[in-house]
Amino acid sequence: MLNAHQQQILRLLIASHGMSRTAIAENMKLSKAAISPLVKEMLNAGLLEESIPESSGQGRPSVLLKMRADSAYFLGASLLGEQVILVLIDMHGLVLASTQMALNLDPQQLSVALAAAIPDLIAEKGISADQLIGLGVTLSGFVDENQSVCVQSALLGWKNVPLAEMLKQQTGLDVSLENDAKALAVSEKIFGVAKKTRNFTLISHGDGIGSAHFFQGQLHRGAHGGAGEIAHCTIEPGGRPCRCGKRGCLDTLASLTAIRESVRDKALEAQSIAELEALAVKGNSEAIAILHQAGHALGLSIANIIQMNDPELIVIAHQPQSFDGLLKTVVMQSIDRHVLPSIMGKTPISNIVISEQSWARAAASVAAYRFIIQLPD
């Protein structure tokens, strides 16, 4: 079991491309003599490895410490589509193997099916069960603050389902549940574009819209696990009815589902966002209006987040070819229009393309985050 100082060393290494013992000691405000035995124990345990960077010609380069890719393995399962996607990742976040199965909405039967799929998945890469550290599961809905119970998921039709315990009984692994947007934010924090960022917000733009926040290097879950529910912020009072029971939610204006509904309402010949964008380029006024409405609403919401939280970075995660052209342009214009002039343009915005497998990798990242990043209170 790693002590608090060793967990902190792992946190530093996760957020870097390697650090010297001296740099680690300085960051932790400890002496190099105090760091050395901690590092030695971790090297002997196979958690770390040493590397010597290429010399720049200015003296002998420092030996860098890095996480070993094979120091730990994690599983992640995505319950966001008709198929469950299960992946195996290493300590560097690389997907080593994946498999799919039909989504069974009965939690107990789902747990049995997932457990049955694990042996073949890890055997594919010659990994033994005792090298697995944990299993993460991502879903659309609310998860309790202990990441063990699905409080409610409209997509799955679940309410107060103790899925983590069911899966633990079947697999013997530590299991963490997480909302889809929060899981994706964790993935970007420890393996992606936000690796060196302590304060950032991730917006997931797809059939629904989600968000998640990191403050001071920690995922912000809120008092009841519901922080980041941007989809149901009211943007247009009295607007379209939303599945949540309210009207005028962001989801009813800017999600891909909402855009497709507007396309059907206007009887436009566009089967995808790319085709809608093509119509807009040709000057179709209705296509332009639909993209303007969605882009304005999403940009306004992001501007409010920037105004309230002053993050170092905004990450917009989107599906392929669904956040290009006019939609993206209007979002950026709307952000600039709705923040104070003194902070306009000061928050970098990074766009990342996600696939179905991204969500399963994000789920595995949640297990990795729980193992390494999150120090005990």
pLDDT value for 62: 81
Q: Which two tokens stand for residue 315?
A: 């990450």
- Give the integer Cα–Cα distance in Å for 170 and 168: 5
- Whether 4-67 shares its CATH topology with 195-354 is answered no
Rounded to two decimals, what is the model's pTM? 0.89
In tens digits, what is the pLDDT along the chain, a chain of 377 residues? 678 888 889 888 877 778 999 999 999 999 999 999 999 999 998 889 998 776 555 666 788 999 899 988 999 999 999 999 999 999 999 999 999 999 999 999 999 999 999 999 999 999 999 889 999 999 998 898 888 999 999 889 999 999 999 999 999 999 999 999 999 999 999 999 998 899 999 999 999 999 999 999 899 988 877 788 899 999 999 999 998 889 999 999 999 999 999 999 999 999 999 999 999 999 999 999 999 999 999 999 999 999 999 999 999 999 999 998 999 999 999 999 999 999 999 999 999 999 999 999 999 999 998 887 553 33
Tell me which fold the domain 72-187+358-373 belongs to: Nucleotidyltransferase; domain 5 (3.30.420)
* CB environment 209-244: b (16+ within 10 A), e (fewer): bbbbbbeeeebbbeeebebbbbbbbebeeeeeebee
Euclidean distance between CA atoms 360 and 81, whole angstroms: 11
Q: What is the largest CA-CA distance in the chain?
A: 72
User: Which segments of 68-141 are extended strands (E)?
Assistant: 73-78, 83-89, 95-102, 132-139
Q: Assess if CATH 1.10.287.3510 describes domain 4-67.
A: no
- Provide the pairing of β-strand 313-318 with 200-205: parallel
What is the pairing mode between strands 174-179 and 132-139?
Answer: parallel
- In the chain, domain spans: 4-67, 72-187+358-373, 195-354
Q: Which helix (H) or strand (E) holds 303?
A: helix 285-309
Written as six digits, the tokens of 77 are: 């399962």
- 78 neighbors 359 (Cβ within 8 angstroms): yes
Q: What's the CATH code, domain 195-354?
A: 3.30.420.40
d(CA 16, CA 110): 37
How many CB atoms are closer than 10 A to CB 16?
Answer: 17
